[in-house]
Structure formats: structure tokens, C-alpha cells
Amino acid sequence: MEKHYDVIIVGAGSMGMAAGYYLSKKGIRTLMIDAFDPPHANGSHSGDTRLIRHACGEGFDYIPLAMRAQELWDDLQKETSETIFRKTGVLTYGPPQSEFVGRAIEGGRAYDLNIETLSADEINERWTGISIDDDHIGCYEPDAGVLFSENCIRTFRRLALENGAELKVNSPVQEIEVHENSARVSTRDASYTSDKLIISGGAWNKRILDDLGLNLRLTPSRRAITWFNSDDALYRSDTFPGFFADLADSVYYGFPCIDGAGLKIGRYDNGDDMAPEYMNREFGAYDKDEGDLRHFLDDQMKEANGKLNVGKVCIFTNTPDEHFIIDKHPEHPHVAIAAGFSGHGYKFSSAVGEILGDLVTEGRSQLDISLFSATRPSLQPQRTEKL
């Protein structure tokens, strides 16, 4: 006999595990299903750490989401001895014409956040490990910092299970049937039914949603991240901030040296689009895996351009406008969707998990998520006219 739940969550990574926790706190009978055993190296949460910025250069609509996420991360820290968040500060910088930096400054002021606007001279003087162009400007957030992504997922998992949620790991979903007021999810070993359904399958969301008749423009892409041996006196986490560099021809992000691991850096743009099942996960398979990052460091952070300590490959899943999808399925209101986090979603995952729980229990979120509509024009398949 199939076991029935109030909610089934397909994909128990960043957003799905958080949703499972917040649903379990409400006493909702919840089953989480994942193709792997989270936290793991196959999704978008691997790589140990993620930045959390509050003055979001992506747009003003992200700031309330970021502030709620920070509240929830702080709450989660009280539930575990593992490190969830470390306040390192985050510096966002670029040329004066950078719209991203401009929005971060403007948004920080509009929401009365604790930010500093800095000139290149002020940045170079404060952090001697960095050397940026004379005309660049920066937005520094001393209250922002680093999330320990895998610790977060482990903690959400432990607490959800303690609250009575269930988790099926190493169980790829083979079929999803959505009925008028219910859903059935089948794995290789069993089938389960539920009143409500959450889809949070990361890079696999496109295939899942296509099968449910929702053809959105989701594009998984391959990205490289590295840890380089660096001068600890310059780059350790109590003296050097996380950073986001929106340059004229490229975008990079990085982390201070934490516990001697070296400075961590990745390139935000210039990924390679490919389906996750065909992705080459070997670091160094492309020359740019290491080459792009060394080029940036040689130009701006020379003392962090040491030997390669670790190189990894991760996945972004992009939407055309790089805004998220957090919504109910337009034809099945008992199905909630979290998708297309475009490389900047992890910091919000606590709040997104809460929102998903609200969508399937209350039908709405208290936060404004209209920007993240699944029916916005930019997500719809493009038509090719026949000549």
C-alpha cells in the first residue's frame, strides 16, 4: 500500500531541505526525496561556503528576502554547534558605471542597511591584499559574510527528521503524476502519494517540470571554484572580507581564507551550458577552470595566487533574466516550485524554504515574491517563425 503524506518534496538540497524543516516544525507530514544523499557534491550547494549579501546588486526586491534569510540563519545557528554563519563582511566593487554596484549602494541606503561606500584608494588602503583600479568604487557590508552551506543542510536535515519528517536518499524520482488534489511520486523502489507537492530539483528541474507540462527556459551550466594557497596575514577571515567583483568584462566572487584552506574564488559569468547528467565534473577539464581565476588574482590579489589547494566543479541553473522561480504551478495550485537560482540563490535558501512551506499550507507567502513568477514572459519558450 502506498504511504500518504501531507507534502512530498522532490529534491532535498538547499531549498528542499529547508522547506522540509519548516514544514516539520508545523507538524506537517512531510516526505523528502533526493537522488543523492544530501549534502553531496552533485548539486548546487557543494563547495563548503556561500556568501550572503544584504545590499543585493541583483535588485531591491531581493533585500527583504535576504534580511529574512539572515534572521532564519541566525535562528538556525542556535540549534546547532556547527558553524552556520561567520560575519566576515562582504565587499562589492567595480567600475563607477557598474549597475550592480550602483544598485547595491542604492538599495543599502533605501533599506537603511549598515553599508559603507568606498573609493578605490580606501579599499586598497583598508585591505592591502587587494589592488583595484583607481576609478573603481565599492559597497562594503560589515554585517554580511559567509554561510557554511553543507553545515546548513546537515542541520536542516537533522532537525527535520527529529521533528518527524522522512527522507528517502539515493532515490531518483522516475515518475510524477499530478492529479486534481493530489500527487503520486514514484522511485525505483516505491510510490508515495501526497496532498501537496514541492519541486526543488536544482539542475534537474527542467526535466521534471517539462514532464509536468511546464516548459520554462532553465539552463544548467558548469562552473569551477578553487582554493589557492594565500598569505594568511592578508586574507584570513578575521581581516579580509568576502567579495563580489563586477568588472567591465567579467564577474568574480570569492571568500577569505577560512581555517587555513586558502582564498576561495569562482567566476560568476562565462559558464558552459550543459545538462547535469552529461556534465564533466573533473576540475581542470577546461583550461579556464584554473586559468581564468589565476588571471583575476594576478591582476587584483597577487598574494592569493599561490599553489592550487583544491579545485571543484559546481552547477548554476540560470533563467534568462537571472531572477528566481518561486511560485505555484500555474495549472496545479497544490504544486509549489523553486527553480532557476542562477548562481546567487543559496544565501536565500532558508527564506525560500519557509516560503515554499507557506505556499503549500497557506496558499501564499507573507513576502512579496511577484518578481519570481513562473508565468513571467521571459521564462516562456521562444517561438521560431517559419519562413
Find the CATH number of the domain harbouring 11: 3.50.50.60
One pLDDT digit (tens) per residue for the chain, 387 residues: 799 999 999 999 999 999 999 999 999 999 999 999 999 877 777 678 999 999 999 999 999 999 999 999 999 999 999 999 999 999 999 999 999 999 999 999 999 999 999 999 999 999 999 999 999 999 999 999 999 999 999 999 999 999 999 999 999 999 999 999 999 999 999 999 999 999 999 999 999 999 999 999 999 999 999 999 999 999 999 999 999 999 999 999 999 999 999 999 999 999 999 888 888 999 999 999 999 999 999 999 999 999 999 999 999 999 999 999 999 999 999 999 999 999 999 999 999 999 999 999 999 999 999 999 999 999 988 754 443
Residue 38: which domain range? Answer: 3-44+150-218+321-379
Same domain, 212 and 224: no
Q: Which of 6, 3, 103, 1 is nearest to 361 (CA)?
A: 6
Same domain, 213 and 234: no
pTM of the model: 0.96
Rounded CA gap, 268 and 245, in Å?
A: 9
CATH number of the CATH domain containing 307: 3.30.9.10
Considering its fold, how many domains does the chain have in total?
2
Instruction: Tell me whether residue 236 is in a domain.
Output: yes
The answer to whether 191 touches 2, Cβ cutoff 8 Å, is yes
Instruction: Tell me whether residue 297 is in a domain.
Output: yes
The answer to whether 76 touches 155, Cβ cutoff 8 Å, is yes
Q: Report the chain's terminal Cα–Cα distance, integer Å.
A: 54
Rounded CA gap, 290 and 343, in Å?
A: 19
Same domain, 204 and 325: yes
